[in-house]
Chain A
Amino acid sequence: MRDWQKLVRERLSGRGLAVAQQDEVVAELAGHLEDRFERERALGLDEPDAIRCALNEVDDWHALARRIYRARPQEDFMNYRTKSLWVPALVCTLAAMGSRMLLVIEGIEPRVLYAGSKAGSMGLEIYLPWLVMLPVIGALAAYLSRRADGKRPARIVAALFPCLIFVGLFLLGLTVTIFSHHRTPAHELLIAFGLADLNWIVIPGAALFLGALPFLRPVRLGDARLAGQ
Chain B
Amino acid sequence: MVKRVRSKIARGSAELAILSLLDKQPLYGFEIAKRIEEDSGGALKFNLASLYPMLYELEKRAWIKGRWEANKAGRDRRYYCLTPAGKKKLAPLRHEWHSFFRALDLLAGVTRA
Contacts and interface: CB of A to CB of B under 8 A. Distances in A.
Contacts of A218: 69-70
Contacts of A228: 26, 64-65, 67, 81-83
Interface string A17-53: 0000000110111011111100100000000000000
B15 interface: no
B70 A227 contact: no
Contacts of B60: 71-73
Give chain B's interface secondary structure class.
Answer: mixed
A219 B78 CA distance: 12
Interface string A215-229: 000110100110111
B49 A219 contact: no
Given A29-B52, A57-B48, A149 B67 contact: yes
A67 interface: yes
Give chain A's interface secondary structure class.
Answer: helix
A58 B26 contact: no
A15 interface: no
Given A149-B67, A149-B68, A225-B25, A32 B56 contact: no
Contacts of A57: 47-49
Interface in B18-43: 25-26, 28-30, 33-34
Nearest to B47: A57
A141 B47 CA distance: 37
A32 B30 contact: yes
B84 interface: yes
Contacts of B66: 149
B26 A225 contact: yes
A11 B37 CA distance: 26
Contacts of B33: 32
Q: Which of A28, A56, A73 has the most CB of B within 10 A?
A: A28
A71 B56 contact: yes
A70 B52 CA distance: 12
Nearest to A219: B69
Contacts of A73: 59-60
B92 interface: no
Nearest to B77: A31
Interface of B: 25-26, 28-30, 33-34, 47-49, 51-54, 56-57, 59-60, 64-70, 75-79, 81-84, 87
Given A28-B78, A224-B67, A225-B25, 9 more contacts: A24-B78, A27-B76, A31-B30, A56-B47, A57-B48, A64-B48, A68-B56, A72-B56, A218-B69
11 contacts: A27-B76, A28-B77, A28-B78, A59-B49, A71-B60, A152-B76, A218-B70, A219-B69, A228-B64, A228-B67, A228-B83
